[in-house]
Amino acid sequence: MKYRNLGTTNEKLSAIGLGCMGMSFAYGPTDEKGSIATLERALDLGINFWDTADMYGNGANEELISKVLVPNRDKVFIATKFGFRFKDEIAGPSGTANTYFDGSPEWIKLAVEKSLRRLGIDTIDLYYAHRVDPNIPIEETVGAMAELVKEGKVRYLGLSEASPASIIKANAVHPIAALQSEYSLLTRDVEKEILKTVRQLGISLIPYAPLARGLFSNSLNLENLASDDFRRTLPRNQGEHALNNAQLVADFSLLAKDKNCSPIQLALAWVLAQGNDIIPIPGTKKRKYLEENVGALDIQLSNVDLKTIDEILHKYPNIGARYSEGAMALVNH
């Protein structure tokens, strides 16, 4: 395993982390036994950076992770998030009518205790605000998070899907170690201003969905997904966007074949190549995909490779939005 520093700290995180959401939420049927085996395999591979959130399965994901985290506490740098709440305590995809966002200091105090209890630990390594609450100044949210650091309940602070202005304001209240935002070959919004901002402040970028939610597997078929699978609702998987992306990935897969790797490995290698301050967290609940992801660390991309990838992307511009309109309303505040 290769390691990268978290922000300006001396924390060494695996260059590829593990997104745990799909083990309990949004991606079809759960498999506790298989997920636990995947978490244990992550330890074997040296993947020490695990990502969860209190909303994933309404706490179920934190409880699942705790079964492997607690007996291996010294081997895992655990990140979790707060903010999304369910109106009727039934877990549903973020951005639906069933969720709302709460970045209030009052909720933060309660949320952290709930997460600590579910995880079975005394201190969370990295605690994110899952979004920026448009109704509460970011300074108030981060001020309450900073109190958790003083109390020893949290070690480092992070934001998710925040705008450059919010990142700067937040960092002025307390150092922000990481920004988690969607970043992949198909989602490059952060390249406009956000990446510049985090680099100026010494903040790591943590890309989630670096494989475009399975699109780069070249085998994503909505008909094979569970009826409640989150990916069925995404604009990118609908109509003309779906056709565009299927053609894009088909061309991309030919390039991967020339590189003697899988499309997934090539897509992940591209994210890794964007800078040593970038630590992607591809999600999976299966060991075979976890092992495939790690193989991306061995792929070296030349300038010619990078140019060829850009040419493929430019050939198929009709990618589609990454989220529904409702979910996008909470992005980049």
Residue 127 DSSP SS3: strand
Tokens 């020339």 -> residue: 258
Element (H, E) at 239: helix 239-258
The secondary structure of 261-293 as a DSSP string is: S-HHHHHHHHHHTT-TTB----B-SSHHHHHHH
Tokens 């060991």 -> residue: 287
Q: What is the CA radius of gyration of the chain?
A: 19
Sign of CA dihedral 256, 262, 267, 269: negative
Q: Cα(130)–Cα(161) distance, rounded to whole angstroms?
A: 8
Residues 123-155 as b/e (b if ≥16 CB within 10 A, e otherwise) read bbbbbbbbbbbeebebeebbebbbbbbeeebbb
List active site positions. Answer: 56
Phi, psi of 250 (to 5 degrees): -65, -45
Q: Cα(203)–Cα(119) distance, rounded to whole angstroms?
A: 26
User: Strand 12-14 and strand 3-5: pairing?
Assistant: antiparallel
Element (H, E) at 207: strand 204-208
User: What are the structure tokens assigned to 61, written together?
Assistant: 């994901």
